[in-house]
Structure 1
Amino acid sequence: MPYIKKFKIPLLWVRRHTSDREFMLLSSVLVGLTAGLAAVVLKTLVHYIHLLLAYGNRLLDQPYWLVVFPLIGILLTVFLVRVMFNGKIGRGTANILFNISQKSSMVERHKMYSHVLTSGITAGFGGSAGLESPIVVTGSAIGSNFGRDYHLNYRDRTLLLASGAAAGIAAVFNAPIAGVLFAIEVLLIDISISAFIPLIISAVVGALCSKLILNEEILFYQEQQEIFEAGHIPFYVLLGLLAGMISVYYSRMAMRVEELFEGYQDKVYRRAIIGGILLGLLIMLFPPLFGEGYGSIRLLESNQAELLLKDSWLGFFGTNEWLILGFVGALALVKVFATTITIASGGNGGNFAPSMFVGASTGFFFARLINMLHISNLPINSFSMVGMAGILSGVMHAPLTAVFLIAEITGGYTLMIPLMIVAASSFALVKYFEPYSLDTKKLAQKGQLLTHNKDRTILRILQIRHLIERDFQEVAPEATLGELVQVIAHSRRNLFPVVNANQQLEGVILLENVREIMFKADKYDSVKVKELMQRPPAVVQHDDSMADVMKKFDESGAWNLPVLEGDEYLGFVSKSSIFTKYRKLLIKTTNV
């Protein structure tokens, strides 16, 4: 586009006439501004679609619209993804982690806008998913493509990617500290002090965008009303453990629901219709499941849970306290189904806002139950707030992000101690049962997950197919010793694969093992290669993880191992090539 080129030319001039550090600081401002504006557009889009459908004409007074609207939203999303993005959009934070580890932090350009469009439609029409994950993908794509356009290296490109994500989170919640911590806890595997500056700048710029443009009706903000009392600490510990158990339940049920929809991967419209109808039926039973759910969270924190029953069929039974308590408890359990159905059936969204919804419901349920049993008099507002931190910490495996996010969006810094208690307790319990977060579990199973262990991370980035050496001279098993000597004479290798006519590896010949017989000319015609070969100490499959490959090297004591694809011989992989590539990646990824 001409206007993009006009914008790019002066920045290229700046790039040439400034230091790398100065250009990174400028880049962090521009990335933060762009990601912040993208978040503003997304929140505004969802707000006004939801306002029009749900409240403008009170269409939700007619129960069948609760089924129709989410179904329409999911079908529209699936249609747009297939028509505009070839059926592939790459949902979730896990997709960005995959880009970092496997694609050198290169994120597809269409993700700078595709997730804003599709998630806006999904959530706007009542899809029970959050917008935070799509804005993380959007911000990451903005940062990544900025780095690519201006020819930044992997380290700086990754930092701008994380800066875009930080700005997106900061803008969605007007919470810059949480944005920075999210980038550090979830996206960056290793970070130096100097890298904090671009993250902070981007997060602040993103937060300012939402602060200046959006109002509190669109932004989620809930003012703290109660003061922390030390006598409530035992109850906060119990809430943290309860939040941990529900987080485990959330993660495992989400995986099971996803598995149910995997059989419809090639039948996208059928999957969308089934998912949309199921979601609509859930929303008919539990209207607070409609959309992101921040309005319901406000009601819970202000101890007005009876209003949640207003559009529910359960409202016909009155506002009995036990009925309200049971309804809120049920919301905490069924939200995971609504969210996972929304995403698995083709909608676009994430688990960030749903985790907060479940957390607020859990905190409210716990405090209200204790009060109704006359065990103590707990502040509903405070326990609803810290409950959000507990579930966020458990589901997302990001306790610091959870603590400071809730503190920022509620202005509840006096609750820092209970926030830490609940987040830490929940995280510790979840970590015992679920080593990986909901978003990263599948990546971990495939061996593609970034970790804070630098060695392990680099081994996961390395891929066998990029390290195969194919300059080994092949010999046939029926070849004679004389033919083998001719091959040896024209090779600089001391290892020779024995490969048959079907390109299958039958064995290997080591130069040191034939050194004596190769000088006996009288045996050149009588001795066959198959009599001299030996089995390789181990073989590597082309899709083996590098951790498995290194284990085979250690166990076999070999320096070179053959690589196969099934039974077909491809080449060899050597320790020296792995170590060389490892050193290059170590330099490349150091001090992000």
Structure 2
Amino acid sequence: MPYYKKYKIPLIWLRRHTSSRDFMLISSAIVGSLAGLSAVVLKVFVHYLHMLLAYGNRLLDQPVWLVVFPIIGILLTVFVVQVFFNGRIGRGTANILYSISQKSSMVERDKMYSHIITSGITAGFGGSAGLESPIVVTGSAIGSNYGRSYHLNYRDRTLLLACGAAAGIAAVFNAPIAGVLFAVEVLLTDISISAFIPLIIAAVVATLCSKIILNEEILFFVEKYEFFEAGNVPFYVLLGIMAGFLSVYYTRMVHRVEDLFEPYQDKVYYRALAGGLLLGLLIMLFPPLFGEGYGSVRLLESNNAQQLLQDSWLAFFGTNEWLVLCFVGALALVKVFATTITISAGGNGGNFAPSMFVGASLGYFFSKLVNLLEISRLPVSSFSMVGMAGILSGVMHSPLTAVFLIAEITGGYTLMIPLMIVSATSYAVVKYFEPYSLDTKKLAQKGQLLTHNKDRTILRIMEIRHLIETEFQPVSPEATLGELVEIIAHSRRNLFPVVSADGKLAGIILLENVREIMFKTEKYSTVKAKELMVKPPAVVQYNDSMADVMKKFDESGAWNLPVLRDEQYLGFVSKSSIFTKYRKLLIKTTTV
């Protein structure tokens, strides 16, 4: 017996002897543990690779290696993708949204490990991108393929996919609440209360895996909290507005840089080398762009931003507060370029960590500027933390995830009110200029973002071939009225396609149009079907999408439309069959 089948037997037995609900709860725990372990593997891989480069040979003591290593990492990532994954890897959360909408939540099996390898290489060698999106893809792939292995339906498979994504976020940040909210806000746009239970189980199990194995505590921690002061509310609102506009800038710059690399998609190694050199140049000017950036975020949060200039050429001018302030402000603007170049050049990573980097830089810059101008006395650490929530909310369009993620990873629940103020304000500003998030904008432009519109999602799942009705009795164009009357007498339909000898549709005959003449027996042999037929109000092609079919029904006002493939008559599709199928799929796809 194959190795993997031995481990399927207990779960197959459980599925047969437990209710669907109980099996889903057990499955969510399994998916959560697998996704949690995957996150642990990725974090350990990146940590030790970076330790080897940074401390093993002390290479990073020489600034030149800050430039060389990211180039090596991108080239190595491209090589792995081309050789082992056929040049296709499907980066980002958008790829998972596409799978939910277009592929019935089927995610390729190789995504259960390909993103761990490729993103680990990219980030480990100093690529300026985060690990969160790759682990979301990995966890989603685990959940999807688990559901496929046990032949679960679309609804349950989608829920387990979301469990994997929630578990990935929870394990990376040790933030189970944020993991659940991420799955709800980004992947599951329609969800009932009962579906929260599997998501919570998966997120908690994944967090425990991370905590037990890595023995990690809070990612960022401020030893002395400066409690929220109501008098600072106007400044938090202003920070939220700034975060909103910076998020718009972030989103638009990402797509512009991606468009610059678009013409070179087929020249993978040329693109990797050119992008790596550009990234190296940016890192040479701004060394904190090396890697994910969490170390820099910790410095900003602890109000030690002067250390960011340590390896910079600006260190020659000292650590004047205004110089540090300008440097941090510049970091907030150029980080988006470093991250997008890393990914567009062929590296693998996401925008979660970079968004937090930009947010912390913005919060520090704003609060420090107010303090230096002596307008007020703002807590720099607090503003750095809530700034992260503002950019996350604006870039990802997920304000609840942003609020609870920052609260969990910083232990900063005392800042819940300013977190909510900044996140909500930023989201409101961004939503006005950018209706879609960074990850979903291009999908929406292509008409492929369907998970956020239930009706369109179901129509996309439906296929014409499953709805064609063939019991309509065809009539030859040369058939006489007498022959037509005989056909009508034995038919239960009131519509008859007129089909030529070569199978092409010539027209249709409606019973109501021949009702008067069909009783005139003297015309039975003289009047032919081709004289009685009319042109159908519209024609459906076999490859038409259901959205196009429904548009044709609306424009024509018809109840039945003929279906053709290469001009050959196949049958009819009716509104009633579409509505029946729609109701069944609505029940099937609703997450409960």
- TM-score if structure 2 supplies the norm length? 0.90
* Worse overlay, 94-103 or 433-442: 94-103
Q: 1:267 Cα shift? A: 2.4
Q: Is the 8 A contact 1:66 1:281 kept in 2?
A: no
Q: 1:464 Cα shift? A: 4.6
The residue that corresponds to 1:196 in the other structure is 196
Q: Is the 8 A contact 1:472 1:493 kept in 2?
A: yes
Match of 2:385, SS state, is helix
After superposition, the C-alpha distances for 1:518-550 in whole angstroms (9 at most, x for unaligned) are 777868788683x65544434556666544543
Instruction: Supply the distance in 2 between the matched residues of 1:74 and 1:106 (Cα, whole angstroms).
Output: 28
Q: 1:582 Cα shift? A: 0.7
The residue that corresponds to 2:19 in the other structure is 19
After superposition, the C-alpha distances for 1:93-134 in whole angstroms (9 at most, x for unaligned) are 122222222322222221111111111111111221111111
The residue that corresponds to 1:96 in the other structure is 96
Uncovered stretches (5+) of structure 2, i.e. residues with no partner: none
- Which one-letter code corresponds to 2:221 in the other structure? Q
Instruction: Supply the distance in 2 between the matched residues of 1:473 and 1:86 (Cα, whole angstroms).
Output: 50
Match of 1:89, SS state, is coil
The residue that corresponds to 2:478 in the other structure is 480
* Worse overlay, 453-462 or 48-57: 453-462
The residue that corresponds to 1:71 in the other structure is 71
After superposition, the C-alpha distances for 1:442-474 in whole angstroms (9 at most, x for unaligned) are 222333324455445433443556545577677
| Count of residues paired in the alignment | 588
Match of 2:292, SS state, is coil
Q: Is the 8 A contact 2:32 2:167 kept in 1?
A: yes
Uncovered stretches (5+) of structure 1, i.e. residues with no partner: none
- Which one-letter code corresponds to 2:335 in the other structure? K
The residue that corresponds to 2:57 in the other structure is 57
Q: 1:27 Cα shift? A: 1.6
Instruction: Supply the distance in 1 between the matched residues of 2:251 and 2:145 (Cα, whole angstroms).
Output: 32
Instruction: Supply the distance in 1 between the matched residues of 2:503 and 2:316 (Cα, whole angstroms).
Output: 74
> Which aligned pairs between 1:107-186 and structure 2 lie closer than 5 A?
107-186=107-186
- Which one-letter code corresponds to 1:327 in the other structure? F
The residue that corresponds to 2:263 in the other structure is 263
> Which aligned pairs between 1:382-401 and structure 2 lie closer than 5 A?
382-401=382-401
Instruction: Supply the distance in 2 between the matched residues of 1:502 and 1:55 (Cα, whole angstroms).
Output: 77
Instruction: Supply the distance in 2 between the matched residues of 1:376 and 1:568 (Cα, whole angstroms).
Output: 77
- Which one-letter code corresponds to 2:478 in the other structure? T
Match of 1:537, SS state, is coil
Match of 2:227, SS state, is coil
Q: Is the 8 A contact 1:448 1:460 kept in 2?
A: no
The residue that corresponds to 1:418 in the other structure is 418
After superposition, the C-alpha distances for 1:295-335 in whole angstroms (9 at most, x for unaligned) are 11111111111211222222223223222222211211121
Q: 1:157 Cα shift? A: 2.1
Residues 381, 28 of structure 1: CA spacing in aligned structure 2 closer, same or farther, 3 A cutoff?
A: same
Instruction: Supply the distance in 2 between the matched residues of 1:402 and 1:465 (Cα, whole angstroms).
Output: 43
Match of 2:582, SS state, is helix
- Which one-letter code corresponds to 2:560 in the other structure? N
Instruction: Supply the distance in 2 between the matched residues of 1:252 and 1:138 (Cα, whole angstroms).
Output: 27
- Counting aligned pairs with the same residue, the percent is 79
- Which one-letter code corresponds to 1:351 in the other structure? N
Instruction: Supply the distance in 2 between the matched residues of 1:14 and 1:543 (Cα, whole angstroms).
Output: 41
* Worse overlay, 510-519 or 370-379: 510-519
Residues 556, 13 of structure 1: CA spacing in aligned structure 2 closer, same or farther, 3 A cutoff?
A: same
Residues 556, 71 of structure 1: CA spacing in aligned structure 2 closer, same or farther, 3 A cutoff?
A: same
Match of 2:435, SS state, is coil
Instruction: Supply the distance in 1 between the matched residues of 2:24 and 2:156 (Cα, whole angstroms).
Output: 8
Instruction: Supply the distance in 1 between the matched residues of 2:276 and 2:175 (Cα, whole angstroms).
Output: 33
Residues 321, 590 of structure 1: CA spacing in aligned structure 2 closer, same or farther, 3 A cutoff?
A: same
Q: Is the 8 A contact 1:481 1:524 kept in 2?
A: no
Q: Is the 8 A contact 1:61 1:311 kept in 2?
A: no
The residue that corresponds to 1:85 in the other structure is 85
* Worse overlay, 342-351 or 59-68: 59-68
The residue that corresponds to 2:370 in the other structure is 370
After superposition, the C-alpha distances for 1:411-465 in whole angstroms (9 at most, x for unaligned) are 0000000000000001111111111111112222333324455445433443556
Instruction: Supply the distance in 2 between the matched residues of 1:383 and 1:45 (Cα, whole angstroms).
Output: 32
Instruction: Supply the distance in 2 between the matched residues of 1:85 and 1:24 (Cα, whole angstroms).
Output: 31
* Worse overlay, 563-572 or 434-443: 563-572
Residues 511, 419 of structure 1: CA spacing in aligned structure 2 closer, same or farther, 3 A cutoff?
A: same
Instruction: Supply the distance in 1 between the matched residues of 2:109 and 2:27 (Cα, whole angstroms).
Output: 17
Residues 74, 503 of structure 1: CA spacing in aligned structure 2 closer, same or farther, 3 A cutoff?
A: farther
Residues 526, 15 of structure 1: CA spacing in aligned structure 2 closer, same or farther, 3 A cutoff?
A: closer
- Which one-letter code corresponds to 2:99 in the other structure? N
What's the RMSD between the two structures over aligned residues?
Answer: 3.0
Instruction: Supply the distance in 2 between the matched residues of 1:364 and 1:192 (Cα, whole angstroms).
Output: 39
> Which aligned pairs between 1:338-487 and structure 2 lie closer than 5 A?
338-451=338-451, 454-464=454-464, 467-468=467-468, 479-482=477-480, 485=484
Instruction: Supply the distance in 2 between the matched residues of 1:371 and 1:505 (Cα, whole angstroms).
Output: 79
Instruction: Supply the distance in 1 between the matched residues of 2:287 and 2:547 (Cα, whole angstroms).
Output: 48
* Worse overlay, 172-181 or 286-295: 286-295
Instruction: Supply the distance in 2 between the matched residues of 1:554 and 1:288 (Cα, whole angstroms).
Output: 57
Instruction: Supply the distance in 2 between the matched residues of 1:177 and 1:318 (Cα, whole angstroms).
Output: 43
Residues 560, 236 of structure 1: CA spacing in aligned structure 2 closer, same or farther, 3 A cutoff?
A: same
